[in-house]
Structure 1
Amino acid sequence: MNSMKSACSIITASIVLYKSKPDIIRDVITSFFSDTVTKKKLILIDNSPTDSLRVLQEERPADIQYFFNNRNIGFGSAHNIGIREAARFNPSYHLIL
């Protein structure tokens, strides 16, 4: 396991939200952060008409970034926001969830 940590300094992931059910996204977040060997950052891009899903970021503010678009810009365009933001961390891997 220690070799994994040195080989992979950080993993980022992005999730596009659109009127998503918070409990389902919480399960995904819990699963993503369940491995504590590798440092992780999660980027939530919300295409919903309201920012009610912002509470998901507030549960792990150091590890989760939240972007609210106030409109549905589409899956690909939203993930492009996440990928650009993830690049700031110079991740070993970026996951699109």
Structure 2
Amino acid sequence: MDATEDEKYTTQRIATYGFDPGLQVSDQVWINDEKRTYGTSQDENIHFLAAVTKRQKEVIPGRKSRSEQDLFRLVITLEAADKDHIARIAEIMRRLNPGEFQD
């Protein structure tokens, strides 16, 4: 079944932490990525408001043959408030970093 326009989304890892940042569903988060610039202007930094929509706990078993430990991961999903702004950012990021995006 094909996804409708409203069901299409793009994922991008924003940050990785070694601890639970304590964000809960419905919390609002201001994303301000001053480290990377996108587009044609060096002054065009990424910034937008997002809300936490999901907290998913995962256990990733380590490979016993390599003596790897199991990994516990908490994935926090955010949804941007201004989807038109995010669509523009996503297109710029896809063009400049073609191998980093999942659809």
Range of TM-score over shorter length: under 0.3
Q: Normalized against structure 2, the TM-score is what? A: 0.26
TM-score scaled by length of structure 1: 0.27
**RCO comparison, higher one (Cα < 8 Å, 6+):** 1
Query: Going by fraction, where is helix more abundant, 1 or 2?
Result: 1
Higher normalized strand content (fraction of residues): 2
